[in-house]
Structure 1
Amino acid sequence: MSYYAEGGIERHQYDVVVVGAGGAGLRAAIAAHEAGANTAIVCKSLLGKAHTVMAEGGIAAAMGNRWPEDNWEVHFRDTMRGGKMLNNWRMAQLHAQEAPERVLELEDWGALFDRTDDGLISQRDFGGHRYARLAHVGDRTGLEMIRTLQQRAVQIGIDVFMECTVTDLLQDRSSGEGRMAGVFAYWRETGRFVVIDAPAVILATGGIGKSFKVTSNSWEYTGDGHALALRAGAKLINMEFVQFHPTGMVWPPSVKGLLVTESVRGDGGILKNSEGKRFMFDYIPDFFKAETADTEEEADRWYDDKKNNRRPPELLPRDEVARAINSEIKAGRGSEHGGIYLDIASRRTPEFIRKRLPSMYHQFKELADVDITAEPMEIGPTCHYVMGGVEVDADSQESAVTGLYAAGEVSGGMHGSNRLGGNSLSDLLVFGRRAGESAAAYVAGLGEARPAVSDEDLRAGQWSAVAPFSVDGGENPYSIQHDLQQKMNDLVGIIRTEAELAQALEEIEQLKVRAKSMSVDGHRQYNPGWHLALDLRNMLLVSEAIAKAALARQESRGGHTRDDFPGPNPEWGAKNLVVSLADDGESVMLNPQPLPPMPDDLKKFFD
């Protein structure tokens, strides 16, 4: 049902509204719809343009098609070890157990996976995974996944609000509980406001990468879901852990940071410095020495027969590889344009590369005039993924706010301090489905007693959104965004120190003051400056959460590296840092929280 409320606000009613149309959002919407809930999807850009398409390598699932020895227990262990044991063990367990079924489900819905000689779904090697377990479609797996889920959602008739941005979560405050009641949004094309009444809201908004200058993330990734959840009363965990993907393009400048899939290394690519040395053998951590080849001959033999299963060091977890690359660059052994070299041309035939890595071949050929079948790529670390997100119940994905759920990159806990490649896509499928089913079950239990939104909250949503138009001669949003990205890149990047993090927090406070006097010109139609002004509120809040948590965690673990605390600390390894909104509604506060204890039947995998 839709109608126009007072003030010309377009209004709709649903049981479940999903914010975000990537893999998690689409899978959640499908699950909620199939459970009987009247469901809608709201997406910031066009349907099918989600950042999930950038996940090229594959979907991690212990199907055992290439290695019969693989099973969910090994996948669970790999995930926990990759996250340096800071993962929510229950989420890691559910993920490992349910991922194979979710992949087969995609196949049933029409996904066309690459095949083994026996006709099974092919699985490739990836960093941190003991066995080859990534189901893939060349190096375009994310695109195939989005295509399949999008087609399924359209086929079953789920309503989609495209190019529509959510600015506030609406809550029923009449009982003092603050239950979810819907979302306040606007159409990006016209600037007209729209309210979607729904007792269950699922956040699937992705990450925070646009707070950094060099990132693989697309323009939508401004931390919207993280900030919306905070303002509604939910909590975030693990925000200090930001993953810098080891391999992003460094040349030409126009594409700096664009992702170079881990599949290049999974299919035989090696890393070299400017001296031509294959340097990763110098950076194998003790934790992985028993499983990692320590000579070039042994690593090459692994690619040929894989019988000893000692992986090349290029397939260490992403945090280890990123730090090694960063060390080589800082030591003066970087490439001409400030990266290092990724070479697959000397390892594989041109036919193999074009077949297995078609997107990478065309990406470098068209954007950098580099033929990866004949010469190495120049790559370097790029901000790629945030392990931190909304604290949720592992089984239901519900946050601390009744009726508010989160799935995918916007949720926290699953990946601990570092995500293994390929786990993102299976994470989207497993917990997207769980969030959708849980939200539908919650709504079904409400009966006729649905939460309601007050007129006062609607007016507040309007005034907050149009505030930048009421300021004359104020700050340009683009200047604030530029300064924020530069400060986060310089001070809260891959290697951190106490002094730089403290400076970052001071700079963010100054940017928040400047943001209060942001002004935009013109009207609400086709106004990208206005869109950015609204996004900046979220970017500043989330950036503060990252910097404050990074300053507090005095150790190096996973995606968080402190130069002044170079090693992991067992005391810090037993707790999360929980971020919540301070009483002023504009800043964040931190509280340590012990990790949930792992049951003995799972501890045995780490003995």
Structure 2
Amino acid sequence: MAEMKFIGGYPENMRELIEVVNKTRDKRKDYTPTAMTAEQRKEVLEVHPDYAPGGKRELSVGINKGDTGPNEVIDLLEAYPLIEPGDIDLTRADYEVDLLIIGGGLAGTSAALWANNEGIPADKILLVNKLRHGDSNSIMAEGGTQAADRENDSPAIHYIDAMGGGHFTNKPDVLKGLVEDAPYIIHWLKEMGAMIDQEDNGDYVERWGGGTCRKRMHACADYTGLEELRVIRDEFRTRGIGVFEHKPVIELLTDGAQKVTGAVAWNLETHEYKIIKAKATIMATGGFGRLHIRGFPTTNHYGATYDGPVVAYRAGAKLRDTDTVQYHPTGAAYPQQIIGLLLTEKLRSMGAQPVNVDGEAFVFPLEPRDVEASALIRECYVRDKGVVTPTGMRGVWLDTPMIDVKNGKGSIEKAFPGMVRMFKRFDIDIVADPVLVFPTLHYQNGGIETDPQGRTNLDGLWVAGEVSGGVHGKNRLMGNSTLDCLVYGRRSGISAAKYLKNGAQFGNLSLDHV
């Protein structure tokens, strides 16, 4: 077999297809496909993975019995626990704290800060993480954080955008809290030292997101989540708040009824159970990308395995919107080593166009994510106008060089330094050449049902971030995830602190629900 020849990171046959994109770029620079009508969106969503046959079933146990969800999710919710209750000695606790926080991303870490701000001493707060503190989807977030802080915008307009993006299934009061707190959150991040992109005059650089009618995306180049968590985690460590790493929580403890009283953690290094007694608990364990639902690759980190909803559900917590999954439209489809990694929506907001094998821009670049992802799938598998890689992966081109055409030379390197470096490892120059993309498993739309203060139906249990359900409904817009973590990290931390200051006491420790 002849050796495959590569030119600029691409095999020869793909290089020929890139030339088709290059030749049509000048014709496309002043053309953008029209946004879809409601009817057109409904039609294209028929190819969305959520609607494909055979991938879902009804939940047969618990408070949400009868709800549907992906098979991979239902398998976990119906599974037997990892422990035998009789093997755990609950007569004494290894640790006693006022506030236990499970999860160390943006939501959990910010919750700890806000509880401390409200008067809960640092030595009475304990954050427990499955991996290292900060190993999370948060640090992989690239595109930005939404906040309506311009004169032509308002939280009400932000609310309408998010409600439409969620197909009007969002919990109204929870979404209201998200959009109302957003401008303050950006101010708080800036005060903490986050390097948010600014114009020369000091105004924030704000860009479009899919499904938005105003520019309100605040970014830190293309490592927004990493930068936001940097300043928040630094403050966390400065305050001396307790943290356990490599200790996943494998069950919640209750008082035998509807009150959460702590958790059982597993020490990955010593292989020992640790009993944590807590007056209040905040769950912030993130999403489920590593379940690889329907076999999709994912943008998520290795700890995103749906632990939080599973243990909370066994304790009696109510879930919602378990039936929908968000697939980000533009995951890497080439090279093989990075398949599924996130190529932020910000690329499209700055001018990069999805382009098919014939060099045609076939979809409005900033449709809501479920619509955009469906359009890419349709182009590859229904219309057969995708590009096939040497491994058989299909995708369409994302014409990244168009960003410099529309915004001036150097715009890509300034706005996406991390992405430029990542592709250069594979000898691909995204300034000169397009990249191949296909939808990738990205976000858990639903989760543990929350109220506007992060409370659940269980006494003593709060939720924040991707583990929660209600704020996004059945589809999330770009920039509302990091915002969710920060707003509901704050709200849950404050609410739990008030609960503690109102005289909350330790409860009995039981695994009867298991």
TM range (shorter): 0.7 to 0.9
SS at match of 2:312: helix
Q: Select the residue among 273, 286, 300 that pairs with 1:193.
A: 273
Alpha-carbon displacement from aligned partner over 1:248-286 (angstroms, at most 9, x marks no partner): 011222321111111111111001001111001xxxxxx
Aligned-partner residue type, residue 352 of structure 1: S
From 424, 427, 430, the counterpart of 1:372:
430
Give per-residue Cα distances to partners, 1:179-223, cap 9 Å, x unaligned: 111111012122122111102111100011111131111110100
Alignment deviations for residues 206-253 of structure 1 (CA, whole Å, 9 cap, x no partner): 011111131111110100011011011001100111000000011222
- Identity among equivalent positions (%) equals 37
Classify the secondary structure of the residue corresponding to 1:169: strand
Instruction: Report if the CA contact (8 A) 1:114-1:136 is conserved.
Output: yes
Mark the runs of 5 or more structure 2 residues left unpaired by the alignment. Answer: 1-87
1:422-457 CA-partner distances (Å, limit 9, x unpaired): 01111111111111111111122235x421215xx4
Counterpart Cα distance in 1 of 2:377 and 2:190: 39
Contact 1:9 1:193 in 2 (8 A): no
In the alignment, is the contact (CA less than 8 A) between 1:273 and 1:333 conserved in 2? yes
d(CA) in 2 for partners of 1:85, 1:430: 21
Distance 2:362 2:305 in 1: 35
Q: Distance in 1 between matches of 2:259 and 2:369?
A: 39
Once the two structures are superposed, residues 23-76 of structure 1 have per-residue CA deviations (whole angstroms, 9 ceiling, x without a partner) of 111111111122122211111111222210111111100111xxx201111101
1:44-63 matches, within 5 Å, as 44-63=130-149
Does the aligned pair in 2 maintain the 1:346–1:374 contact within 8 Å? no
Task: Classify 1:60/1:397 alpha carbon distance in 2 versus 1 (closer, same or farther; 3 Å).
Answer: same
Shift of 1:10: 7.1
Question: Where does the alignment leave 5 or more consecutive residues of structure 1 unmatched?
Answer: 281-312, 461-582, 586-607
- TM-score, normalised to structure 2's length? 0.78
Higher RCO (C-alpha 8 Å, min separation 6): 2
1:67-118 per-position Cα deviation (integer Å, ceiling 9, x unaligned): x201111101100011111111111111111111011111111111111232
The CA distance in 2 between the partners of 1:181 and 1:346, in whole Å, is 55
Rounded to whole Å, the distance in 1 between the matches of 2:190 and 2:497 is 25
Residue pairs, 1:348-363, within 5 angstroms: 348=404, 349=408, 351-363=410-422
- 1:342 and 1:210 map into 2 onto residues whose CA distance is 25
Residue type at the aligned position of 1:363: M
CA distance in 1, matches of 2:157, 2:474: 19
Question: What are the Cα deviations for residues 455-509 of structure 1, in whole angstroms up to 9, with x where unaligned?
Answer: xx4xx9xxxxxxxxxxxxxxxxxxxxxxxxxxxxxxxxxxxxxxxxxxxxxxxxx
**Structure 2 CA distance for aligned equivalents of residues 163 and 10 of structure 1:** 19
Matched, 1:334 2:386: yes
Q: Secondary structure at the match of 1:385?
A: strand
Structure 1 consecutive aligned stretches of length 4 or more whose deviation exceeds 4 Å = 5-10
Name 2:261's counterpart in structure 1: 181
Does the CA-based 8 Å contact 2:136-2:286 persist in structure 1?
Answer: no
| Alpha carbons 2:149, 2:183 under 8 Å: kept | yes
Report the secondary structure of 1:91's partner residue: helix
Q: Are 2:278 and 1:278 equivalent residues in the alignment? A: no
Local SS of the residue matching 1:246: strand
Contact map agreement 1:179 1:199 (CA 8 A) in 2? no
How far the C-alpha of 1:325 sits from its partner, in A, is 0.2
Structure 1, 44-53 or 5-14: larger mean CA deviation = 5-14
Q: Which residue of 1 is the match for residue 178 of structure 2?
A: 95
**Within 5 Å, which residues of 2 pair with 1:26-37?**
26-37=109-120
- For residue 9 of structure 1, report the CA deviation from its aligned partner: 8.3
Query: Closer, same or farther in 2 for the Cα pair 1:373/1:17, shift >3 Å?
Result: same
**Which of 456, 460, 477 is the equivalent residue of 1:420?**
477
Structure 1 or 2: more helix by fraction: 1
1:116-155 alignment runs, 5 A limit:
116-155=199-238
Q: Structure 2 CA distance, aligned partners of 1:21 and 1:126?
A: 27
Q: Within 2, Cα distance between the matches of 1:6 and 1:95?
A: 41
1:440 is aligned, of 497, 502, 511, to 497
TM-score, normalised relative to structure 1: 0.66
Report SS of the residue matched to 1:259.
coil
